[in-house]
Every structure is written in C-alpha cells, then in structure tokens.
Structure 1
Amino acid sequence: MAGLDSGPAIPVWLNEDDLGCIICRGLLDCPVTLPCGHSFCSSCLKSLWGSWAEKPRWACPTCREGAPQKPPLRKNTLLQDLADKYSRAVRELEEGGRGAGPELAPGPAPASRRRPAALPAAAQRSITEVGRELGELVEQLVDITRSLQNQRSLSQSEADNELTILGTAFSSGVDLSLASPKLVTSNTSEGKMRDVLHALEEIQEKLRENFTWKEAFEKQTQVELLETPSTSSRPLPDQNHPAPRKASRFAQWAIHPTFDLRSLSCSLEVSEDLRTVTVSHWPQSYPWSRERFKACQVLCSQALSSGQHYWEVDTQQCSHWAVGVASWEMNRDQILGRTRDSWCVEWMGTSRLCAWHMAKELVLSSDKPGVVGIWLDLEGKKLAFYAAANQEKLLYECEISASYPLHPAFWLYGLHPTNSLIIKQVKT
C-alpha cells in the first residue's frame, strides 16, 4: 500500500470552527469524542451532563444521540494535537505582527505547500472576476468527481490514477485555505471520491458566501463613482441591480422586537436600538442573573401570547445561527430547539439548513437564506419560517401547542467575533 507521502501534497488549512467546542465556544481542550463522532472539551461535557435532569442524560449536545449509561470518555489525542498546533500558529502570527482575518488563521506554510506564484497577480484583478474563475474551476472538479462516481466499471487502479490527477489539479488551481481534511481520509477509490465531492461542495458554498458580499460592494462602489452631484442621476441601465423587494404579504402583522438584556449571554452585545446582536471579542461583564443564557443566546422582550405576528431577521453577517421562538422559562443551560418549549430553524454553516424541536432535527435544504421571516399564528397554533430576501418562500411549517407566551429567540455560534443577527424593518 502506498505511503502517506506518495502522490501530490495537499495542504490542509483550518479555521477555528473546525476545532471548536460547541459548549464553551472556544478551542477544544482535552477533547473527547462520543460514539456519534462529535467532540467536546472533556470538562465542558461533564459539566453539561451534570446539569441535565431530563433523559437521555448521556446524550450528545449536538445530535442528541443518547446512551443508556455514561459512555467512557477518552482523550482524543489527534484533536488535541491539532488544537495545540493551531494555537501556536495563531500566536506566531500575532507575535510576528502579521494579522490574520477572522475566518482564516493559517500557520506558516512549508515551501513545498505554498500557493502557486501566479496567485498574487490574479489577486490584483477584480474580486468578482477571480471569484467567478474559482467558482467555475470548482464546478468543473465537481463534475469530474461525479463522473468518476458513475463509472462503476472503473478499476481500483484506474480510479486511483484519476484521483491523483484530480488532486494535482485541485492543489494547483484553488485556494486551499478552503479545503477540508476529509480529502485525504479514505482508503478506497469510492470513499475518496465521496470525500472529494463532499469537500468540493463545501468549497462551493464557502466561495458563494465569501464573494456574494464582495460582489455587492464592488457594484455599489462602481455606481458611486459613476454618479454625478445631480439629484436626477441614476445608475447606468446595465448595472444589473436586483429588483426592489415587494411589500411583504405579512406586513399588517409585522412587529419589530427588541432584545432583552436580562437574557443576553455574556458572549454577546447588542446595539443601542436593541435590534442587532453581535458576538463579542471578549466576554462582557454583565451583572449576574439566573435569567442569562450561558451559550450565545438571547430572547426578545416581547411576550407573544395571542394573535398573529411576523418579524424578519437578517442572517447574512452570521456563519452559524438559529432563529425561532422559546418560552421565557427555557433552561438557560440548553440550546434553542433542543427543549420542549423552543422551536427554531438553524443554519449549520456546512450547507445544511435544519428545523429543531425537542432535540429532533429535520434537514430542510442546503441553501442559506439571507433573510428569515418568522410567522407565528397563535390562534391557528402554527409557526412558519420563510426565506424572505425578495419575497416569502416557505422553508418550514409546524404546529405548536403552547399554553405559555413565546418570545423571539436567537442563537449565534460564538467562535467568530462580529458574527451578528439583525431584526429587520419589514417591507410595507
């Protein structure tokens, strides 16, 4: 069997999400891995389990897969080693005075694994032009991989040769800071193809997220440069601006909730108008309160106990979030959607939009909605979520039977400071 060093070298770049604990929102410390495959800090998991009175008591905080008795917790030395290396790399960058962006914090790359010399020249071109080229290249690689999957008669050696070629093209043509370690984990050709395809699909999603706002910024800059002082000036007709959004069909029931500071996690901060919540760079020193969430969550002040209500949330500045409703009595140690008295839709940050209630997950789609509309009909006992960027498109609908008031509820996955959610003004 070929050694690990045979074939093209594929650099693996990590960001903090890859090595984060969902409980404490920091880098993994003495990580343990449960039978379901999810990993957490050992002390965080033990503390969380100790606070749970409901069953399954030994459940995974992420997927809620349970066990009849407490599973043995053994340190995952590989994850610990990766977390230590990541911390050292970030420290070296900070000490060397070279800042890294919040989404990427790579360590110094070996000479054999640096990006091609042609990339800096490409970076001088239009951001959107480079983005399109990268997107087209990844799309071609996805097609190649799917074609390989469909060739059932392809022999093991032929498939390995094809994947070697694919790996060479991949490592020489795409910014591998977006790549996934899964590219090199399988031993069979079929497994390699699945892993490569999954990694490429993740890269496609990240490219879309990274370049959507940059493209919009470029277009807006071009318009501002072309505009004259005249009040009658207009953008040129070929600017391809999106059509203005139509008035919401829920406008007559629109409310504009505000965040309740009593429930605000110490990892979050809110704007002066109480309609933007942001992950802080460091923990805030809010007064202690039994009503304050431990995780990056917050409720709104408005208690909705009757009638029909609609509000919208801008999610474009957040990489992993959940929005929905919950009772004020929701356990402050729990996560939105994992309790009997909370409902939500959650963007997992990995091309997966899900609905959650009572720790049960329902996968909805692989598209991230830029604006989420929440429709709460307490008379009809219905809760619905809509993608509302242009006009409302139903994402998920369910029945609710709550004898208590419900509050708009929010969760921000807290590994990246400046992640934010905004309560929007509904278009009327």
Structure 2
Amino acid sequence: MAGLIPGPVVPVWLAEDDLGCIICQGLLTRPATLPCGHSFCRDCLKGLWAAGSASAPRSCPTCRESARGPPQLRKNTLLQELVDKYTRALRELGDGSGPAPGPAARPAPAPASPRRAAQLPAAAQRSVAEVARELAELVEQLVDIVRGLQSQSPRPESGPDNERSTGSMSSSGGVDLSLASSKPVTSNTPKRKTRDILHDLEEIRKKLQENFTWKEAHEEQQQVELQEAPYSSSCPLPDQGHPAPERASRFAQWAISPTFDLRSHSCSLEVSEDCRVVTVSHCPQTHLWNHERFVNCQVLCSQAFSSGKQYWEVDTQHCNHWAVGVASWEMKRTQIVGRTRDSCCVEWKASRLSAWHMVKETVLGSDRPKVVGIWLDLEEGKLAFYSVANQETLLYECPVSASSPLHPAFWLFGLNPGNSLIIRPVNV
C-alpha cells in the first residue's frame, strides 16, 4: 500500500481547552475515547467512576450516554500525539522563543521557573548565556571577515569608478555588509565604510560578551539558591526578584500558615515535605485511592475553621491557571471549588480574574495578582480576598456561614508540569 503523499504543513492554532479533559480541567493524559466519541483522561474516568456507586452505570460525564457493558478504556494514540506536540510547543514558548503568531490572540504561557527550565528536554534547555555566546562567536567571525576585506582592499581612487567599487565592496560575498552598520555612512570610500562596519561589529561583540558573562554569573547564583532552598526538588522557588515588602501586614496578628492535607490531593499533584508547596507532578503519583481524594487537580488544607479570625497568603505566580479559597470537607470530590454552595474562591483563567460564590461568577478584571491574601472572619461572617503587594488591595468580599467548618482550598488547572502554589509566610 502506497504511503501518504506529503503535503504542505498547515499551522493549526490550539489552546489547552481544545485538548482538555473536563474532569481535571487540564491537558489530556493517556486519553481514552468512549463509544459516544467524547475523550477524557483515562485515570480521571476511572477515578470518577470509582467514586460513584458500584451499581451505577458507567456513563459519559459530558453527554451521560451509558454503555451496555463496562467500557474498555483504550489509549487514543492520535489524541496523545497531539497533546505531546502541544506540550512540546508550549515548553519551547516558555523557553523564550516567543508566542506563535495566529489569527486570534491567545494568553501567553507563564515564563518557565528555574526548576521547570531544569526539567525541560535537552533541546529546550539552552540558556540565554549559551545563545549569547554563540552570537558573540558569529560576530567574531564577521569581524575577521571584515578585517580580511579591509587588508585586501586597494587604495581608493576618486571618480565614478570609486562609487562602483564601493557598491561592490558592500555586497562582497553575497552579504550586504552596509546593513550591519547602524550609523549613516559619511564617506563614499570603501576604506571608511569598512572601518565603520568594523567599529559597529566590535561594539556588538563587546555588548554580547558583557551580557552572557553577567547571565552566567546570574545562573550560577540561581543554582546555588536552588540547592540551598528548603522546598522539595520538584517545586519552584518564589520569585527572588520580588522580595516580600518590609511593611508588616495589617492582618499580621491573625496570620496562620496552613498545611496541605495529604489525604485530599489528587494523584496529579505532589506536596513538599513541609506541606506548604503543592506542584503539578510530571507523572501520576501512586497514591492509594480513597473517597477523600479529589478526582480533579485540587487539594484542601488540614486546618478547619468554625470560629474566630484567620489570614493566610498564597503565592500564585508560578501557576498558569489557579483558584484559591475555602471549602467544607464534605464537598464532593468530583466537584470544583467555587461551583458548590459550600465553597468560595477567586480564580485566574484565560487572562481573567473572577470570584465564585454560591455557584455564581463575578468577573473582577484582567489584572493578575501575584500573591493572594485570604481573610476569613467568622465572627462577622465574611470572607475577603486581597491582592498583596506593597499593601493589601481588596479584590472581593462575600458573606460566609460557619455552619460547617471551612478549610483552605486550592485548584491548579491547565496541568503544566511544574505549576505550583505556595503558602507563604505572612510578613509580620
């Protein structure tokens, strides 16, 4: 049988939603397609069905079509290849090559953190210093070429022939060397023109040398910080370029530092040793399944609050899409925080900040907070979210009930490995 005739490569613009699983709200992992045609992560389907009644039919979460017998969940190879290609392209974008052009604007992925960059494939691990070094070597070669041309050029003569020789020199070797000079040419002699080009190339080489020398020192310092960091090896560090403000928080006297509950987090997440950093894992974790574990990419904290006042802060800048808030422990493990009457949150998704309360969404704007402060005042029955920078700026406030104890709740969606949320110390 003859193979397919290769045709033109047509760019196709995809977003995470095009290759997403509605159960975990992330990219498909080991996708399985049901008889109705809808596709989901294989483990998400198995977990969803396992969390339901044993006698309930195994139906599609999208269209509710039930299979006559237990459906065989086989890997959809074509979808998996598309997801792999999309993930590779996303990592290349995160490595600094810039967003791909397309007919419609798409939100750009968050820059890769130092830990995430260390985990990329070898082809995507080239640092800025390495690229700058290669550019410096190319400029060095150009300098040698121009010097060779300068030494070989005859003494210029005046007249019309000199103008023709100038044009010949500028296009020597099929390369228009005059384009390399950023300054206007004040003389028509090849000697003066070549000298100007050489001067510009020397300046470029000097700047490149200074740039990659600084970058190498900066990257070495980052590696030292990574080795000395108290976080687990799979979790990125907070942004060292944005240190915590020196001014004490006005909520300092009520500040707490809750910890993630190891029984509740989904198998797509891993938690640091101090239980204050939760990260999207590069491979599914081998946690024992239980009815307290979320099917989707969520986790609760161990601390439960039914009275008093509490305040905590979450560093969100290393997660592309996220939600932070509170929920009761009785929240169903197949549901999403904010989409139930016993949970509330603010979330960042698709370049939009929203608040979810009583299953209703309130759009807050397009400014993304790097740190979110959560103020829970059960004495007055209210919950407030703040954007924390030099001071706390109110994002959203709503009433809450203490009829059931509330736990800090978190959702990491858009399952890019390395995405993380960090419960950070409050500045006191």
TM-score range relative to shorter protein? 0.5 to 0.7
Is the 1:15–1:103 contact (alpha carbons within 8 Å) kept by the matching residues of 2? no
Q: Specify whether residues 242 and 48 from structure 1 end up closer, same or farther in structure 2 by C-alpha distance, changes over 3 A only.
A: closer
Unaligned runs of 5+ in 1: 1-8, 34-38, 54-59, 63-69, 74-82, 94-98, 107-122, 131-174, 184-195, 226-239
Instruction: Quote how far apart the aligned CAs of 1:318 are.
Output: 0.6
Give the drift of 1:286: 1.5
Q: TM-score, normalised by structure 1?
A: 0.56
Q: Determine helix, strand or coil for the equivalent of 1:210.
A: coil
How does 1:137-148 map onto structure 2 within 5 Å?
Answer: none
1:366 aligns with 2:359: no
The reply to whether residue 336 of structure 1 matches residue 259 of structure 2 is no
CA positional deviation for 1:23: 0.5
Over 3 Å counting, the alpha-carbon distance change for 1:31 and 1:17 in structure 2 is farther
- Name the counterpart of 1:229: none
Aligned twin of 1:281: 282
- Give me the whole-angstrom Cα distance separating, in 2, the residues matched to 1:297 and 1:241: 27
Distance 1:31 1:369, change over 3 A: farther
In structure 2, the gaps of 5 or more residues are 1-8, 54-59, 67-75, 118-128, 130-210, 219-240
RMSD, aligned α-carbons: 4.6
The question of 1:406 aligning with 2:406 is answered yes
Q: CA deviation at 1:311?
A: 0.2
Hey, what's the Cα distance between the residues in 2 that align with 1:105 and 1:29?
Answer: 28
1:100 matched to 2:88? yes
Structure 2 match to 1:300: 301
Which residue matches 1:87?
A: 80
Distance 1:61 1:365 in 2: 31
Q: 1:321 aligns to what SS in structure 2?
A: strand
Post-superposition shift, 1:244? 3.9
Is the alpha carbon distance of 1:395 and 1:85 closer, same or farther for their aligned partners in structure 2, counting shifts above 3 Å? same
CA shift, 1:285, in A, is 1.5
**Native 8 Å contact 2:307 2:402 kept in 1:** no
Q: Percent identity?
A: 58
SS of 2:335's equivalent in the other structure is coil
Letter in 2 for 1:308: K
Give the aligned partner of residue 324 of structure 2. Answer: 323
Give the letter aligned to residue 340 of structure 2.
T
In 2 relative to 1, CA 413–256 (structure 1 residues): closer, same or farther, beyond 3 Å?
same
Q: Does structure 2 retain, via aligned residues, the 8 Å contact 1:257–1:300?
A: yes
Q: Which moved more, 1:24-33 or 1:310-319?
A: 24-33
Q: Letter of the aligned partner of 1:367 in structure 2?
A: D
Question: Residues 104 and 363 from structure 1, CA distance in 2 versus in 1: closer, same or farther, beyond 3 angstroms?
Answer: farther
Question: Do the aligned partners of residues 48 and 91 (structure 1) sit closer, same or farther apart at CA in structure 2, a change above 3 Å counting?
Answer: closer
Aligned residues: 287
Answer yes or no: is the 8 Å Cα contact 1:387–1:395 preserved in 2: yes
Distance 1:276 1:46, change over 3 A: closer
1:416 offset after TM fit, Å? 1.3
Query: Match of 1:367, SS?
Result: coil
Alpha-carbon displacement from aligned partner over 1:109-138 (angstroms, at most 9, x marks no partner): xxxxxxxxxxxxxx9xxx7xx9xxxxxxxx
Question: Larger Cα Rg: Structure 1 or Structure 2?
Answer: 2
Aligned partners of 2:357 and 2:398 also within 8 Å = no
1-structure distance, mates of 2:51, 2:263: 21
CA contact (8 A) 1:103 1:416 kept: no
- Who is 1:177 aligned against? 100
1:377 aligned to 2:377? yes
Shift of residue 329 of structure 1?
1.1
Could you tell me how far 1:15 is from its partner in structure 2? 5.3
Within 1, Cα distance between the matches of 2:357 and 2:65?
28
Q: Distance in 2 between matches of 1:247 and 1:355?
A: 26
